[in-house]
Amino acid sequence: MTLNDVKPEMMRCRVVPLTLRVDRLHLTLQAAFGSTNSHLFEFLAGERCWGIPDPDGHFGRQPIDARKTRLSNIVQETGAKTATAGII
């Protein structure tokens, strides 16, 4: 994992199971970088996006619910070997 646009470059390495839920991956990344979990997040792989949907639907296209998705689902559904994580 590497943080973009941060100097000096920050990199962390973590091993996680493919059965890990995507919302839990977000918490793992937060802990690895010492962040406070104060932003919404999304993971992008292929043409798909996972995050926490807005219950009111006010923000346009909704992400796939990260609380209901495991890393193995992303690999199976997209064939992706990498994903991009972002904060909103």
Nearest-angstrom CA–CA distance, 86 and 2: 11
Nearest-angstrom CA–CA distance, 57 and 33: 30
Q: Give the pLDDT band (50/70/90) at residue 74.
A: very high
Q: Which residue type does 53 have?
A: P
pLDDT of residue 88: 65
Domain range annotation of the chain: 22-87
Higher pLDDT among residues 6 and 21, named by residue:
21
Compute the average pLDDT of residues 17-31: 93
Q: Which residue type does 75 have?
A: V
pLDDT of residue 58: 76
